[in-house]
Chain A
Amino acid sequence: MLGLNSRDFKLFIIVCIMALVAPVLLNPFPTESALGQSFNAGYPALMQRFVIFGILAIGFNILFGLTGFLSFGHAAFLGIGSYAAVWMFKLLSYNVVPAIILSVVVAGLFAVVIGYVSLRRSGIYFSILTLAFAQMAYQLAYSVLTPLTNGETGLQVYNGDPQILMSAGDPTVPHFFGITMNGQTQLDLGGWSFTFQNGYYLAAIFLIASFYLSIRIFRSPMGLMLRAIKSNQTRMSYVGLNTKPYMLAAFVISGMYAGLAGGLLAAMDPLTGAERMFWTASGEIVVMSILGGVGTLIGPVLGAGLIKYLENIVSKINDGILHNWFAFMPDWMDNLFVTLIHPFIGKGWHLTLGLLFMAVVIFLPGGLVQGGQKIMDMFSRNKNTDAKDGAKTPAE
């Protein structure tokens, strides 16, 4: 179906359904309940981040997952994409189409240059080169190129901007031919309330398209070549293949994905700043990939989702909420638990992430995807203990 084999097609359908019904799936608890207040993630601002960073991670995985080249400066392309999109808003109009197209194109152009230079080296040297480029981009955006980037204030749209394609009745927020990104429909069902936002759905459609393209790339001759480069570069050249242009193509595709993510971030909220390119942002992309499962199709999306969930959910939990949870306990026990958990919540969410990351790397080097496979294997073994070789699904 759609040029996919049956297993890939199933995975693709699952991702489609997840992306489309996320506003319902991510709100499992009634809105006003304590659990709902703390753990519901089905609000537009967070869901947008899930899918946009999912796109970013899918693109990163085409480079890191397939070829094993670890780019430590990928956030630069995200930032460049955002700047390009905001400039389109300033110069043309709030329509997101030119903004998103330009963000992909500009990020691609930067990727050609940065990739060409960085790919002269491999291994740790490649990583350091990409990191250096990204930090240079950050510094340029932060101070040197202030006229282009508006420095530390960040780039945004002002009333005086040309916006030459803007006509009288157009919305003054990002829109897709009149459909505003922040427009939303609310559905109340009993204690639950679900929000379906236009912007989220635009991003979700891009996620689905990005995911589809990534499956096709993984299964294409290009994907085969990239995996071969990861496996044995010596044999590649002795077979008569020039690895450089293949690597550069992967780098540029990956950079364009990041540019798309950056453009979408700007489309959801038409402002951007240099901090989007800071090296910690690049590091986060690496962590997402590894957490989810490097080189698997779905892993990076899961990793991106998990990190954004922790960032937004765990960091919201405070001592007051904890006291509420432990209210049934005697006071001394309540206080003890709150004291013990305190370092891991709120601003300490990075500590939770760090511990989780360590646990995954040590016990599940294949990431969450490997965890999922282990659980599936356990299930199928329990179900029919005499199955000949169980359900040995190759890593996806």
Chain B
Amino acid sequence: MGILEVKGVNKRFGGLQALGDVNLSVQENTVHAIIGPNGAGKSTLLNVLVGKLIPDSGSVMFDGQSVLGRKPHEIAQMGISRVFQTPEIFSDLTVMENVLIPCFAKRDGAFRMHGIESVADEKGLNEQAEMMLDEVKMLDKRHMTASSMSRGDKRRLEMAMCLVQEPRLLLLDEPTAGMARADTENTILLLKDIRTKRGITMAIIEHDMNVVFSLADRITVLAQGMPLVEDTPDKIKNHPKVREAYLGEAQV
């Protein structure tokens, strides 16, 4: 029994079968990659997982509880964090405030009527946020506005915002899309580091095969909305069906 169990999920947009009978099981403490050519339904699947889309049929269980019909903030409170293709951060706020907000969300839940005590007086949360920033090596930038960061720093900041909540499952939507080679390498290192230090379960959607093969424990290949195969990276690399559907074109 995995921490995330997707069973028989179907989603149709008009005449298009975006997801057809998708089954997926993510085991605790593994990195599970979902790959597939454009239009394979990867993003649709992710949106189902975070409550943005409701599937036509099927079930999605997280840690024994159904996530279907729950709002994104409720699913986040269950312990699922998401990293976006383009980093979603609070651009107008400082780096420190960016990390403080998830700390409040973790401690106080989805809503709490706060008094008029100052944010600066929340010593515990401030320390927690500073430690997190230290871990991603951004402590020296804590007073800067998030919008002034480089792309790579924004990605690390978003990662810090997710990690500070100690999620049970981290969903990553093409975390290296559009990144320069060096930034991609850095992101792989960061993810590996998180993996070894924190042992967080991750589900990652990715185009870049280099990223997938250096991180994943298991890989699910989607094609035209259906799961094609699920196996270990080594087996996937040499799987004839996968080569045909996806890798063949990439590794001429």
Contacts and interface: CB of A to CB of B under 8 A. Distances in A.
A interface majority secondary structure: helix
A235 B116 CA distance: 24
Nearest to A222: B114
Interface in B64-121: 71-74, 76-77, 81-82, 88-93, 97, 100-102, 104-106, 108-111, 113-120
A224 interface: yes
A213 interface: yes
B88 A221 contact: no
A241 B88 contact: no
Given A239-B161, A239-B165, A241-B73, A231 B116 contact: no
B89 A224 contact: no
Interface centre among B74, B90, B92, B97 (most CB of A within 10 A): B90
A242 B114 contact: no
Contacts of A235: 88-90, 161
A100 B225 CA distance: 63
Nearest to A295: B92
Contacts of B110: 240-242
B208 interface: no
B119 A231 contact: no
A236 B116 CA distance: 21
Contact of A220 (B82, B101, B106, B115): B115
B100 A224 contact: yes
Given A225-B101, A235-B90, A238-B81, A216 B118 contact: yes
Interface in A176-232: 213, 216-217, 219-225, 227-228, 230-232
A32 B71 CA distance: 68
B12 to A, nearest CB: 25
Nearest to B100: A224
A99 to B, nearest CB: 26
A257 to B, nearest CB: 14
A232 B89 contact: yes
Given A5-B120, A235-B89, A240 B165 contact: yes
A52 B97 CA distance: 33
B76 A3 contact: no
Contact of B106 (A238, A240, A245): A240
Interface in A292-333: none
A230 B77 CA distance: 21
A237 B76 contact: yes
Contacts of A234: 88
B169 interface: no
Interface residues of A, number: 30
A232 B90 CA distance: 6
B50 interface: yes
Contacts of B89: 232, 235
A229 to B, nearest CB: 9
A220 B119 contact: yes
B119 A237 contact: no
A239 B115 contact: no
B127 interface: no
A235 B92 CA distance: 13
B122 interface: yes
A221 B114 contact: yes
Interface centre among A213, A225, A231, A240 (most CB of B within 10 A): A240
Interface centre among B92, B108, B120 (most CB of A within 10 A): B92
A353 interface: no
B50 A238 contact: yes
Contacts of B122: 221
A216 B119 CA distance: 10
A246 interface: yes
A74 B126 CA distance: 36
A214 B123 CA distance: 22
A5 B118 CA distance: 9
Contacts of B100: 224
B101 A241 contact: yes
A241 B111 contact: yes
Contacts of A231: 90-93
B118 A239 contact: no
A242 B117 CA distance: 21
Contacts of A220: 114-119
Contacts of A216: 116, 118
Q: Which 3 A-B pairs have the closest CB atoms?
A: A240-B76, A216-B116, A242-B110
6 contacts: A213-B116, A232-B89, A232-B90, A240-B106, A240-B110, A242-B73
Given A221-B122, A228-B90, A231-B91, 10 more contacts: A220-B114, A220-B118, A222-B114, A224-B104, A225-B101, A228-B93, A228-B97, A238-B73, A240-B76, A246-B111
